[in-house]
Every structure is written in C-alpha cells, then in structure tokens.
Amino acid sequence: MTDENAPTPATDGGLSAEAQRVIDEIEEKDVDFLRLQFTDILGTVKNVAVPATQAEKAFTDGIYFDGSSIEGFVRIQESDMRLKPDPETFAVLPWRDGRSARLICDVINTSTGEPFEGDPRRVLKNVLERAEDMGYEVNVAPEPEFFLFEEDEEGRATTKTSDAGGYFDLAPKDLASDVRRDIIYGLEQMGFEIEASHHEVAEGQHEINFEYDDALSTADNVATFRTVVRAIAAQHDLHATFMPKPIPKINGSGMHTHMSLFEDGENAFHDPDDEFDLSETAHSFLAGILEHAPAITAVADPTVNSYKRLVPGYEAPVYIAWSDRNRSALIRKPAARVPAASRIEARFPDPSCNPYLAFAALLSAGLDGIEKGLDCPDPVRENIYEFDEQKRQEYGIETLPENLGEAVDALEEDEVIADALGEHVFEKFVEAKSQEYDEFRVDVSQWELDRYLETY
C-alpha cells in the first residue's frame, strides 16, 4: 500500500523544503542529538534519541520502534510503528549545552502506511480537520500551573514548598522567581511565546501563560513544556510537579484553557451587538462544552487526584455553568480589549491531562454545539459556591463528576466525545482509567489508618 504520509518529495535528496531547512539548522547550531518525541494516550512524553547525522534518514524513511511497549498503543503481534518527524516542530532544547533538539513526530502504522489511530496527535488532527471542513481555524492559549518542591538528601521529591509566596507576590517571598525566569528563558529559546508568568495562590505554586497559537502547535508545546519545566527545576535542585493536588486543603493546579475560532481571518466568536460581545457561534460552542462537560472531565481531569482539586472552596470549578464575571463557573468569558481577543475560558482542565486529547474533547464538544445550534443558558453572575442545593436546582446547575469513576462512566455514555477520541483511543483510555480507579478504590490510605486503626 502506498504510504500517503511519507514526506513531500523535493529535488534535494528526496527531502521536503521544510526538512532541508531543519537539516541546515542542525548544522548551523551544531546539534549532536535529536529527540524524536511523541506521547502515549496518557500524555506521557516518549522519545527516541538519534544522532543528528541520522536526521535525513528520519525525514525520508522514518524511525521504527516497538509500539507494544507504549501505553495504549498495540499488542505485541502488531508492534512495528514508525515515527514521522514534523519539521515545523524543530527546536533546540535549552539544556545539555544546546546540543540536543526536539522534533515532535506523528506515528505511522507500518502495516498500512496510514497514521496510527492510537496516536493522540492524530486524534487532535482529526478534530481540527473537522473544524476546517466547517470553515474554522482554532486558536488555544493554556495557563498551566505547577508546584516547585524541594528535594531530599537523596534527590527524591518532597512536598516541602520552595517559597512562602502567594498570588502575584514578588521576591523575597517568591524565592522561586529566578527558577521561573530561567524556565521562561529556556522556553523562549525554543521559540515559545510566553504571555506572562506569576506566583499562584498557594505556596510553591506557579503559572506560566502561553500566547495564543493554533491548537496543534499549542498541544505540542504543552507536552514539551512539562519536560522543560522539570529539567530546569532540577538544575535548581527542585522538583516540578503537574500533579493537580499534591497538598491537601490548599488550591490545586489547573490548566485554564482559552479558545476561539477564526473564520476567513476574523474572530468567529466576536459580535459587538451582543451583551457579552459573543457571537451566536460562540454561544453554541460554549453550550456544547457545557452539554458534554461530564465526559470531557474524564479526559481533561484524568487522574484520581484530579478530583481532589475539583471540590468547592479552592477556586476550582465544579458547577456546570458559565459567567462573564465570576470564576466559580466552569466556563468564563474574559474581558476582551479588541475583537480578535474575544474568547471563552474553560477553567476545569488540569495540567496532568494529555493536551492532544483534552483539546480534541473540548473542541469536538464545541463543534457539536455549533452543528446542533445548541442554545446557551444565561450566565450566572453570582458566586455559585454560596448557592445551596435548592438554589442550584432552581438555576438548573448540574455538577461535574465527583471522582474518576463517575467521569469514566460519563465518557462511556457520550457518543460525541467517544467518537472524537476514536475507537482505539477511547477503548484503551477507558480501560486504563477504569483500572486506575479500581486500584484506588481497593487501596487503604494513610488518612484511613490515622482515623480508624486505633479507634475501632
């Protein structure tokens, strides 16, 4: 079968113009090693390191690997997979003296020559193609939060925070500002466009905001971002974690995700005649996310620990509603200075998610809302945290799943999100997350031992 996903041929040794540009840049920047990156379905970054001298072969022939060893990929009898580097993702990594560079890869099924349906990057591409067929370009800007913790004498992570700072604090309380600065320098060296960074509410908690970019590039960058943050933190003898709730009874880490659609170069979400400056398209997109929120939660908040963050009282949304003012709602409409900045902000994803799958789920839900012309409910401008159950019922406000098990159940019942993931990823994801929740349910926590062991 003809491999339709082979690099576009060119006159220069079979390389595309984009690939040749990368080859030239490798030589100019004296790169020694290439890290060919991809993710498993859980969002863990995997990489195959090859000498830079193999770059041309990587572009023309691909690099083969055993897919049966990757979470959620294939069985051992179907194991051969091929990595196809995307030359647009070339970036020199900001450590190892600038000698290593990354290329993010698509995964090709060698038995068919087609893109592997279990590749999370392919899942997002499929949804983006659907958006393109509807006439839309998708822009995304996430705000991933993370904690910086000290390491013990043996280099293992602790939960002792590296500073005593709070929201927007400056040094001396924000002692990790130098680490955050080095992280931003490193990301900018890779070509990331960073909008802002600051200390978050909790001690040791930080946030770095991405500039708007197309959804695929943003997902690529989120995957690499986590690796870069951990590596630079380690240079400062600190451990960076994107675990949603590493410390009880304080704010957890989210990844608020701003989204907008553009049509013919104009922001399809903007309407100056609307009370909220949102178009009918934006209202339907927003309604689609609200409609499918329980299922999206399984993908956007994919760990047992995620649901320790999604509780009232710690600035994390748990109620399925939207607002143009307060932050207790699931979705917020931020103020926009210019029409191009009109957008919505999904506040429930967390940074442990696979960004390809999370963006795919959010986008497919929004597109479903547009296709069905869903009506958007009125915004809730009051603090929903202060509502009692009766008042929430009066407003018709539902809640997110309370745990991973409920979220997986919601995902299994939602055909739109299941279809967006594709049969392979859907089945493997549900299998992995059901097992994770089952393991959690049968475990006995330290809290239980402390509370019950000597009491009964």
Query: Is there a binding annotation on residue 394?
Result: no
Q: What is the DSSP letter of 384?
A: G
User: How far apart, in Å, are the Cα atoms of 34 and each of 45, 67, 150, 188?
Assistant: 15, 20, 31, 19
Query: Is there a binding annotation on residue 38?
Result: no
Query: Is there a binding annotation on residue 252?
Result: yes
Query: Is there a binding annotation on residue 260?
Result: yes
Task: Answer yes or no: 427 catalytic.
Answer: no
- CA separation for the pair 174, 41 (Å, rounded): 35
Task: Answer yes or no: 423 catalytic.
Answer: no
Catalytic-role residue among 106, 119, 143, 301: 143
Catalytic-role residue among 56, 119, 169, 200: 200
Query: Is there a binding annotation on residue 436?
Result: no
Closest CA to 425 of 335, 313, 302: 302
Catalytic-role residue among 99, 230, 327, 392: 327
Task: Answer yes or no: 145 catalytic.
Answer: yes
* Measured CA angle at 405 (ends 224, 395), to 5 deg: 95
Q: Identify the burial level of 97 via C-beta atoms within 10 angstroms of its C-beta, where 0-12 means exposed, 13-18 middle and 19 or more buried.
A: exposed
Closest CA to 293 of 410, 415, 420: 410
Catalytic-role residue among 145, 163, 271, 301: 145
Task: Answer yes or no: 27 catalytic.
Answer: no
Catalytic-role residue among 347, 350, 368, 424: 347
Residues comprising the chain, all counted: 456
Query: Is there a binding annotation on residue 200?
Result: yes
Task: Answer yes or no: 66 catalytic.
Answer: yes
Give Cβ neighbours of residue 38 (< 8 Å, ≥ 6 apart).
45, 46, 47, 83, 104, 105, 106, 107, 119, 121
Query: Is there a binding annotation on residue 243?
Result: no
Query: Is there a binding annotation on residue 251?
Result: yes
- CA separation for the pair 338, 270 (Å, rounded): 9
Query: Is there a binding annotation on residue 315?
Result: yes
Query: Is there a binding annotation on residue 212?
Result: yes
Q: What is the DSSP letter of 438?
A: H
Angle between helices 355-372 and 280-300 (to 10 degrees): 140
User: Which sign, positive or negative, has the C-alpha torsion 300, 306, 311, 314?
Assistant: negative
- CA separation for the pair 159, 152 (Å, rounded): 10
Task: Answer yes or no: 327 catalytic.
Answer: yes
- Residue for token digits 């960073």? 194
Catalytic-role residue among 106, 324, 345, 350: 345
- CA separation for the pair 135, 49 (Å, rounded): 38
Q: How does strand 100-109 pair with strand 33-39? A: parallel
Answer whether 124's CB lies under 8 Å from 218's CB: no
Query: Is there a binding annotation on residue 14?
Result: no
User: How far apart, in Å, are the Cα atoms of 431 and each of 302, 308, 437?
Assistant: 12, 22, 10
Catalytic-role residue among 4, 12, 24, 66: 66
Task: Answer yes or no: 431 catalytic.
Answer: no
Task: Answer yes or no: 386 catalytic.
Answer: no
* 50 beta partners: 34
Helix and strand numbers, DSSP H then E, in the chain: 13, 19
Query: Is there a binding annotation on residue 145?
Result: yes
Answer whether 108's CB lies under 8 Å from 97's CB: no
Q: What separation, in Å, do the N-terminal and C-terminal C-alpha atoms of the chain show?
A: 67
Task: Answer yes or no: 143 catalytic.
Answer: yes
Q: Which residues are designated catalytic?
A: 66, 143, 145, 200, 207, 256, 327, 345, 347
* Residues placed in the known binding site: 143, 145, 195, 200, 207, 210-212, 251-252, 256, 258-260, 309, 315, 327, 345, 347
* Residues placed in the known binding site for ATP: 195, 210-212, 258-260, 327
* Residues placed in the known binding site for Mg(2+): 143, 145, 200, 207, 256, 345
